[in-house]
Amino acid sequence: EDQVTQSPEALRLQEGESSSLNCSYTVSGLRGLFWYRQDPGKGPEFLFTLYSAGEEKEKERLKATLTKKESFLHITAPKPEDSATYLCAVQPPRAASKLTFGTGTRLQVTL
């Protein structure tokens, strides 16, 4: 059974204080790993897809990396508008539509 564990559950940062969110996964072969951002009362918003170990993708202050067992979402010099819940999901190779989501990391960035 595919499993996704995200840590920490919640993270509070001051503006400009860089940090990383972790997504550990167990899946029999990985077709893709997804990162989403979810604001309160809204649906998740797609950020990145990573396909193979060593791959990195960046978007503004966010950089996602992937190893064979986990993915990191690095947040550099965060701003209050980066406050959200960040979700990770894995996609198995033979059931591409059946993503397994983690429970998310709730990030709060304060002034």
Supply the minimum distance, in Å, between the C-beta of residue 90 and other proteins: 10
Using DSSP bridges, classify how beta strands 84-91 and 62-66 pair: parallel, antiparallel or unpaired.
unpaired
Q: For residues 100 and 111, what is the distance between their CA atoms, to the nearest angstrom?
A: 34
Of the candidates 94, 84, 57, the one whose C-alpha atom is nearest the C-alpha of residue 73 is: 57
Which of the ranges 11-19, 58-66, 74-82, 92-100 carries the binding residues for other proteins, by CB under 8 A? 92-100
Of the candidates 4, 10, 5, 6, the one whose C-alpha atom is nearest the C-alpha of residue 83 is: 10
Supply the minimum distance, in Å, between the C-beta of residue 53 and other proteins: 16
Supply the minimum distance, in Å, between the C-beta of residue 98 and other proteins: 6
Near other proteins by CB under 8 A: residue from 10, 53, 77, 96 = 96
CB 105 within 8 A of CB 80: no
CB 64 within 8 A of CB 54: no
Q: Is 71 in the site for other proteins (CB under 8 A)?
A: no
Supply the minimum distance, in Å, between the C-beta of residue 15 and other proteins: 28
For binding to other proteins (CB under 8 A), which residues are involved?
4, 31-32, 34, 36, 41-47, 49, 51, 87, 89, 91, 95-104
